[in-house]
Amino acid sequence: MQKLVRTLDCFSYGVGSVVRWLALAMVLVQFMVVVARYVFGLSDVAVNESVLYMHSTLFMLGAGYTLLVNGHVRVDIFYNRLGDTGRRRIDLFGHLFLLMPTMFAILYWSWPAVVNSWSILEGPISVGGIKAVFILKTLIPAFCILLLIQSASEVLRLLIGGKARD
């Protein structure tokens, strides 16, 4: 069971290690957009949209990694006051009754839109933009699947006696 947890964690870590480079790329492209516009008077819709695409990809594909490293925001006034058993119960409840059902619901309800977008190869958001909105929409089910993978790892870790995350 621990090997499965490690495998799932390694997968999330690998995805996060790749997509985090989009943060740097995003900053560089945005800097280039600003310099091109205000120094040279040039603008390109596709380049501007590329920042949106990178931003979306970074956050949607990086969510599982964020869960792995416990980087998500906790708004729980009782969690820190509880012992390890209480924290594990809250974490299990959160994964099994909140996160996982929500991800399955989003996956279920977004799937027809993603399939439709691919069937027509949905075009750009703006005239002259990137001709790949269907790829952007594919990030929605990918987000759900990556979070479900990491959530499953967290549940397994909690069930085999692992500590709750601080």
Q: pLDDT digit string (tens) for 9-29?
A: 999 999 999 999 999 999 999
Residues 6+ apart with CB under 8 A from 7: none
pTM above 0.85, yes or no: yes
C-alpha span between 102 and 99 (Å, rounded):
5
Q: What are the domain boundaries of the chain?
A: 2-159
User: In this structure, which long-range contacts are made by residues 133-139, counting pairs with CB atoms below 8 Å and at least 24 apart in sequence?
Assistant: 135/53, 136/53, 136/56, 137/110, 137/113, 138/114, 139/56, 139/57, 139/60, 139/61
What mean pLDDT do residues 121-135 have?
Answer: 92
